[in-house]
Amino acid sequence: MPYAPLLTEVEIAASLPSVPEWRRDGDQLIRTIRCDTFRAAIALVSRVADAAEAADHHPDIEINWRRVTFRLTTKASRGLTAKDVAMAATIDRLGARVESDTA
């Protein structure tokens, strides 16, 4: 499978407003989502895992009680690609769903 093309600095800057909850740290996009309960955090991780499998693009995930931190980079391309921005938007959508489920 060919590597996804790296985004240029201009493309990264243009893409970030579409995922405003994310911050860039070098070649990664990072976001922490706070959930109301540990069970809600696990539900979020499960939903993201399903989406990641479907997209064949997997974030690094860290669970700290009710906080879930996602880190995105395209490892095969060694940097940020459109796949990262797309997965960030998917995680945002799924995060909003978990937050509304726990409200």
First CA to last CA distance, the chain: 41
81 secondary structure, DSSP code: B
pTM as predicted: 0.92
CATH homologous superfamily of 9-101: Transcriptional coactivator/pterin dehydratase (3.30.1360.20)
Q: What are the residue ranges spanned by the domains of the chain?
A: 9-101
Q: Which two tokens stand for residue 96?
A: 């909003």
Which CA distances in Å does 91 have to 1, 8, 21?
Answer: 24, 23, 10
Q: How far apart are CA 80 and CA 9, in angstroms?
A: 10
**Residue 101's pLDDT band (boundaries 50, 70, 90)?**
low
pLDDT, residue 99, reads: 55
pLDDT, residue 97, reads: 74
Q: State the average pLDDT for the chain.
A: 93
pLDDT, residue 103, reads: 47
Q: How far apart are CA 97 and CA 38, in angstroms?
A: 15
**Which of 16-20, 29-33, 96-100 has the least mean pLDDT?**
96-100
